[in-house]
Structure 1
Amino acid sequence: MIKNFGVKNFASIGEGIEVSFEFDGNTPENVSNGQNIGTVLGIKGANGSGKTNILKAISFLFSFVSKRIAPLDEDGELKGDVNLPLDSFFHNTDPSEFYLEFVCDETKYHYEVTLKSDGILTESLIRNVGGKTEFLVFHRENEEILECEDGLQELKTIKLRADQSIISLPNDYKFHTSTFELELINEYFKKFIFNVGQGGMRYDGYNGPTERVRSQFYFENKDAFNFVKKIIKSCDDGIDDIQIKRQKGENGGFVYFPEYIHKYKGKEHKLAQHDEAMGTKVLFSSLYKYWLTLTHGGLLIVDEFDIHLHSMILPEILGLFTNTKINKKSAQLIFTAHNTEIIDSLGRYRTILVNKEDNETYCFRLDKVSVLRNDRAITPVYLKGKIGGVPKLKKANILRALEG
């Protein structure tokens, strides 16, 4: 599980931000469920405040440590110079810094990396045992490992690449000695799913090719389909059933597609995906990610979590992660949303508020705001602008600007 994440000099993030899933001793029992680390974080803020940039930073780090990002040729060699998809704050020349505290296989770790678009400057991993004793797993500067545990001395024989994390090395090399710990961490990061990249949110289509790919996945994974079908039927009481059909395609393969069964006056009526409401399409297209994350553990990163979904549905989806009977693998969810009421469903300990001053993003969790109380709604205070995270431009100002 992720405890804390920090980043400096990335996109609109200048001096640095920290995002924490970790609870303190004041967290109410009905929020913490007796755990020290939360499973849900919602990010709120005005348009352009940097909400998506926080998710981009997290997604970049997880991609970086789980696999080599730079394109390779057929022989596995780098195509051209190293050019990591890394945007610094207003394109300054200083390095970007990331750190991550996480728990993997009941062991606590602290990971740090400093890098520029042309490669890694420093990288280190520390294991924490018993909450007090720390062991350095490895420390690297540029393309040289300066320190590592005795069991990982073979790493020093590898010609390190400027664009490749040490954690991802077991993907590309066969070691004679055990690299089990690195492999375990690497596999953990590969479970993370996100819909943001260097350009922001990645649009996930709802018809056509995307519909067929999702349909095939649901056809081949009955548990996932039952999960999705139950949720869609509970959100749209007009749907009596959903079936995944397949038929021969033009090239000899199969084409998969959903049929939605509606009943009217005792008769069944079948509708195709393009005939359904947009909210239903969104759920059909995206819920597989929730099923995968809940089934295997890891982290689901969702930009525009609330798009096309009614505000009353959103708390139910959050419940997939906060309900310990459903979320048995302690999977985590972090998302951005423009819906305001979601703040009251999240509460103080699960809401990150993002602001921007002088074009620089900063953020804080709402339990750090003294004027808020656990037993009172947050939305009224938020809408009055007393805690930030709202647009500074009021409607009247927009109209005046248009009037000239």
Structure 2
Amino acid sequence: MLVDFKVKNFRSIKEEQLLSMVASSQKEFVDTHTFLPTTSKNLSLVKTAAIYGANAAGKSNILKALDAMQDIVLESASKYQRGDKIPVKPFLFDNEVNEPTEFEINFIYEGIRYQYGFATTSVRITEEWLIVYPKTRPQNWFARAYDEETKEYKWQFGDKLTGQKQVWKDSTRSNALFLSTAVSLNSEQLKPVFDWFADKLKITGVSGWNPLFTMRMCADDSYKKEILKFLKTADMDIEDIEVEKEDFDASKLPEDMPAEIREDIIKEMKGKEVIKEAKFYHLDNYGKKIALDFDDESDGTRKLFSFIGPWIDSLENGNVLIIDELHDNFHPLMVKFLIEMFHNKDMNKSDAQLIFTTHETSVLNQDTFRRDQIWFCEKQNRATKLYPLTDFSPRKGVEDLEKGYLSGRYGALPFFQDISMAMGK
């Protein structure tokens, strides 16, 4: 469960920006659009959040920041080598900005709240910290900060963090996270933090997910029934899906694949099956089944099918889905349908959350969202600013949010020059 996320000095983001899933005191849709985590009776979270803004305003960079943080957590200890660059891009449009990129995230996993963050340049992690709330009082488990004068790290460890702290500390490279290093060296206490990034945070871009995840789910009859039900509810005329598997064959890997990657894949896939093909069956006008390959389906059907697997998996397991441009290739009613699945208490029993960017304004209304679920993004002095709709105190149940947005009341709209001026006439 995501509580909030902060990012500073990343791509188009200069000053610290906050995306919060904490619900306000509003009474609308409390039973369907919000939930109370088991950790607190006072902390209510929203299930979905939509981010609106003009092209190039930086709304995608908010999601890319989450993606970058996740990648560094998952890969800095296992894949980076000494001297490798850390993949962050700081804000470039201000000569005075010469600071590290900062990420901090608050989330709840297995009944415990974690506040974890780090600051980094492309060369080294400059700060890292973890505060844990097993009940209500915070516990500082660890912190480190790089001292520019001594060229060394200063470390702090709390009593509540147990294990081989000195070994983990000595094993942490300057371009790797202590969290990731300690987990790779069997820290059981820190494993839940790492696992949340690995298992619960699901991020995709405009192109969506690879369809193989959903295809593998279709090989299980119980999941296939859910997927077919999903497709029918979404008015897709697919009667059946057949997935054919085959044993993994290393000889089919590209010949020019790097040897190290090839060896890792062979080791990972040894003894496993892979998807050979998937057939989608439709009924013709006479009731006869017609089989189509996945590539023969429409763009919208292929994208929706690719989404179904992660969607069902997330609703079942309480994941946090992060999606850039949810509207792409989807009809407005499909966008609304997908959002409402997260607001449906019977479908979303595990308090899964959805965060997405979109240009689809037909869902920008008080029938679909609470006012604290809508965010806007715009450029100010070339820097991205993220702010909530609640800053404008829209009238409860009365104000037309779509009309207000398109009329410029909330900002975050593109600015177009007169076409004749743009053409130099």
Structure 2 residue aligned with 1:383: 406
Structure 2 residue aligned with 1:42: 50
Give how far 1:102 is off. 1.5
Structure 2 residue aligned with 1:238: 237
Which of 116, 122, 140 pairs up with 1:136? Answer: 140
* Coordinate RMSD, CA, aligned: 2.7
Distance 1:321 1:387 in 2: 26
Asked if 1:58 is matched to 2:66, the reply is yes
Asked if 1:162 is matched to 2:184, the reply is no
- 1:5-60 CA distance string (max 9 Å, x none): 11111110101210000012234225544530112111110000001000001111
Structure 2 residue aligned with 1:173: 185
Q: Which stretch shows the higher mean deviation, 51-60 or 84-93?
A: 84-93
Mark the CA change 1:103 to 1:204 in structure 2 (over 3 Å): closer, same or farther: closer
Distance 1:372 1:69 in 2: 49
Q: Which structure 1 residue ranges, 5 or more long, are not aligned?
A: 73-77
Distance 1:64 1:292 in 2: 24
Give how far 1:387 is off. 0.7
Which of 282, 288, 306 pairs up with 1:267? Answer: 288
Aligned-partner SS, 1:313? helix
Mark the CA change 1:331 to 1:34 in structure 2 (over 3 Å): closer, same or farther: closer
Distance 2:288 2:276 in 1: 27
CA contact (8 A) 1:167 1:186 kept: yes
Give runs of aligned pairs for residues 303-322 of structure 1, distance below 5 A: 303-322=324-343
Q: Which amino acid aligns with 2:85?
A: N
- 1:92-138 CA distance string (max 9 Å, x none): 4311112212212222222221111111111111122543x221111
Structure 2 residue aligned with 1:354: 377
Mark the CA change 1:399 to 1:240 in structure 2 (over 3 Å): closer, same or farther: farther
Give how far 1:313 is off. 1.1
CA contact (8 A) 1:82 1:162 kept: no
CA contact (8 A) 2:72 2:86 kept: no
Mark the CA change 1:150 to 1:70 in structure 2 (over 3 Å): closer, same or farther: closer
Distance 1:352 1:135 in 2: 32
- 1:216-265 CA distance string (max 9 Å, x none): 41343444433332222222353333333457999798612122322313
Structure 2 residue aligned with 1:194: 203
Give runs of aligned pairs for residues 4-403 of structure 1, distance below 5 A: 4-28=4-28, 29-30=30-31, 32-35=33-36, 36-68=44-76, 71-72=79-80, 78=81, 81-90=83-92, 92-131=97-136, 133-142=137-146, 143=153, 145-152=155-162, 154-158=164-168, 159=170, 160-174=172-186, 179-191=187-199, 192-196=201-205, 201=206, 203-204=207-208, 213-214=212-213, 216-245=215-244, 255-344=276-365, 345-393=368-416, 397-398=418-419, 400-402=421-423
Give how far 1:151 is off. 4.0
- 1:312-359 CA distance string (max 9 Å, x none): 011211122222221222221111111111222234221111111111
Give how far 1:69 is off. 6.7
TM-score by length of 1: 0.85
Q: Which amino acid aligns with 1:255?
A: K
Q: Which stretch shows the higher mean deviation, 48-57 or 280-289?
A: 280-289
CA contact (8 A) 1:70 1:83 kept: no
Aligned-partner SS, 1:328? coil
Percentage of matched positions with identical amino acids: 23
Aligned-partner SS, 1:12? coil
CA contact (8 A) 1:247 1:256 kept: no
Mark the CA change 1:129 to 1:269 in structure 2 (over 3 Å): closer, same or farther: closer
Distance 2:219 2:182 in 1: 30
Mark the CA change 1:162 to 1:369 in structure 2 (over 3 Å): closer, same or farther: same
Mark the CA change 1:9 to 1:247 in structure 2 (over 3 Å): closer, same or farther: closer
TM-score by length of 2: 0.81
Distance 2:239 2:104 in 1: 48
Give how far 1:149 is off. 2.5
Structure 2 residue aligned with 1:75: none
CA contact (8 A) 2:83 2:175 kept: no
Give how far 1:162 is off. 1.6
- 1:140-173 CA distance string (max 9 Å, x none): 1245532233542522222211222222234421
Mark the CA change 1:153 to 1:180 in structure 2 (over 3 Å): closer, same or farther: closer
Distance 1:319 1:171 in 2: 37
CA contact (8 A) 1:306 1:338 kept: yes
CA contact (8 A) 1:128 1:135 kept: yes
CA contact (8 A) 2:90 2:100 kept: yes
Give how far 1:89 is off. 0.5
Structure 1 residue aligned with 2:150: none
Mark the CA change 1:39 to 1:270 in structure 2 (over 3 Å): closer, same or farther: same
Mark the CA change 1:144 to 1:294 in structure 2 (over 3 Å): closer, same or farther: farther
Aligned-partner SS, 2:311? helix
Aligned-partner SS, 1:292? helix
Q: Which amino acid aligns with 1:385?
A: G
